[in-house]
Chain A
Amino acid sequence: MLIDWTTVAFQIVNFLLLLVVLKRFLYGPITRAMAKREAELAAIRAEASRLRAEAETALAGYLRQQRELEEQSAERLRRAEAAAETRRRELLAQARAEAESRREQWQEALRGQQREFLAELQRRSVTGVLNLSRRALAELTDETLENALARVLLTRLRELPEEDRSRFLAAARGGKLVARGGFAADDGVRARLGEALGDGLGAPVELVWEASPEATLDLEIVGDGRRLSWGVSGYLEEVRERVRHLFAEQGRTEEKLNDGQALEDS
């Protein structure tokens, strides 16, 4: 008989005993260790996934911030360029305005100098002419300048039309005949001028003398709305006009040169 039932019974017990022992010392510890390792690995994987997600989130955030910073930088640069361009235009306009103002000031100063020069020229030329005329007249004719003026004026008076002479005469009789001259006439000159006018008009004349500094070498007789005058003011005025014309031409030439320079600068 190949089957020994006692042995069978012992083997069943042995097998069950082995099962219990192995469950206690093999399957339990090994499966627990494997489960624990799996749990740890799962925790590590979960942690890694979490860190990866955090890293990706942070990366996305940094990329977004970088993009925003670049956009802000470009915007600031554009604004700064626009502000610089605006400032440049302002400064340029300011500089131009300042230059224009200075040019106008300079021109104004120049015109003032011109006026002063012309006035000085007139004054000196008048003085010069006056002195020259006095000396020439004294040396040539032993006559004063004032007498010569009065004589010329009387000659003119005689050449006047009858109507004008009668109006002067009426004014002289009414005591309203006024003599106006740029030089200081003494009483002798006044008396002689009065006598000469009386002779010329055919009646005694009472002459009122008025000194006029602007008239210099002019002498004029005014009465009843009529005026009779002679002097060198006209000649002097002509000289002054020519000098003014010369200045004006010089000024235009300088302006053209300045404009050309300004175009080259711009």
Chain B
Amino acid sequence: MTISPDHIVIWENAVFRLNATLLFTWLNLLLLAGGAATVTRRLSIAGPRSPGQNLLETLVAGIVRELEELGLKPAGEFLPFIGTLFLFILTANLLAAIPGYEPPTGSLSTTTALALCVLVAVPWWGIRRQGLLGYLKLYLEPTPIMLPLNLFGELARTLALAMRLFGNIMSGSMIGAILLTVAPLLFPAVMNLMGLLIGVIQAYIFAMLAAVFIAAAVQTREKEESE
């Protein structure tokens, strides 16, 4: 039994090794991109909409609503980043129910990569909105003494972001695999359903935490101005 799909090697040569994480990630990519392109090729404006268009519009409208509630306006600026995080993680977690599929989010490498993206995105939007000095000043708040703690907090929450997702998904897969060996079929099926629920919740948590971090970096100046 392997803890991470990184260790499942599908193909390798001298310079490159294709592991399960990358394979299923690409599979995810193809699925999402192909599905989105298929649905959006014929979009209906006034007439009746296809089920796929309805699903995508519901997802996009829901994400936009959540972003606006967090104060991230215009939501269209943040939608691709937060929405892609959510959809990628959600797809990976939901497909985990299929036997033989190894969710990429069960790999700490994937969650670290996503957390690093968030780690970069937060200061990128903070600097875009508030300028370099304005953003760096945030680390000196409320007093300059807090600078080390603020820096540590920044790294810690990124690490927590990666570990939380990895832990939840990896544990779900592990428990399912263990139970399959010791218990009748019904119990792992129930656990699998539970895994689906946890997968959806984790995707939502990851995306929303990223949005909250970005919102905190973007809105500090606005709060000060409003005060």
A binding-site residues for B, Cβ under 8 Å:
2-12, 14-19, 21-23, 25-27, 29-31, 33-34, 36-37, 40
Q: What would 8 A/B residue contacts be, using CB atoms closer than 8 Å?
A: A7-B109, A15-B85, A15-B88, A18-B84, A27-B60, A29-B40, A29-B43, A40-B46
Please give, as numbers and ranges, the residues of chain A lying within 8 Å of B107 by CB-CB distance. Answer: 7
**Would A4 and B6 count as touching, CB distance under 8 A?**
yes
**Would A22 and B80 count as touching, CB distance under 8 A?**
yes
**Would A8 and B29 count as touching, CB distance under 8 A?**
no
CA distance A4 to B40 in the complex (A): 36
Selected contact of A12 from candidates B36, B81, B104, B116, CB within 8 Å: B116
**Would B29 and A25 count as touching, CB distance under 8 A?**
no
Interface string of B31-71 (1 = CB under 8 A from A): 01100110010011110000001001100110010000000
**Would A12 and B40 count as touching, CB distance under 8 A?**
no
**Would B32 and A22 count as touching, CB distance under 8 A?**
yes
**Would B33 and A25 count as touching, CB distance under 8 A?**
yes
Of B17-25, B146-154, B179-187, B198-206, the one with at least 4 CB within 8 A of chain A: B17-25
**Would A22 and B21 count as touching, CB distance under 8 A?**
no
Selected contact of B19 from candidates A4, A9, A14, A21, CB within 8 Å: A4
Contacts A4-B19, A12-B113, A30-B43 hold; do A22 and B60 have CB atoms under 8 A apart?
no
Instruction: Report the minimal beta-carbon distance from A1 to chain B, rounded to whole angstroms.
Output: 9
**Would A15 and B113 count as touching, CB distance under 8 A?**
yes
Overall SS of chain B's interface: helix
Instruction: Report the minimal beta-carbon distance from B169 to chain A, rounded to whole angstroms.
Output: 13
B173 lies within 8 A of chain A by Cβ: no
CA distance A14 to B117 in the complex (A): 11
**Would B36 and A25 count as touching, CB distance under 8 A?**
yes
Please give, as numbers and ranges, the residues of chain A lying within 8 Å of B26 by CB-CB distance. Answer: 14
**Would B29 and A14 count as touching, CB distance under 8 A?**
yes
Please give, as numbers and ranges, the residues of chain A lying within 8 Å of B156 by CB-CB distance. Answer: none
CA distance A37 to B81 in the complex (A): 24
CA distance A19 to B40 in the complex (A): 16
Please give, as numbers and ranges, the residues of chain A lying within 8 Å of B84 by CB-CB distance. Answer: 15, 18-19, 22-23
**Would B60 and A7 count as touching, CB distance under 8 A?**
no
**Would A33 and B116 count as touching, CB distance under 8 A?**
no
Instruction: Report the minimal beta-carbon distance from A2 to chain B, rounded to whole angstroms.
Output: 4
Please give, as numbers and ranges, the residues of chain A lying within 8 Å of B81 by CB-CB distance. Answer: 19
CA distance A26 to B52 in the complex (A): 11
Please give, as numbers and ranges, the residues of chain B lying within 8 Å of A15 by CB-CB distance. Answer: 84-85, 88, 113-114, 117
Identify the interface centre among A11, A19, A27, A33: most chain B CB within 10 Å of its CB. A11
Instruction: Report the minimal beta-carbon distance from A29 to chain B, rounded to whole angstroms.
Output: 4
B76 lies within 8 A of chain A by Cβ: yes
Please give, as numbers and ranges, the residues of chain A lying within 8 Å of B158 by CB-CB distance. Answer: none
**Would B19 and A23 count as touching, CB distance under 8 A?**
no
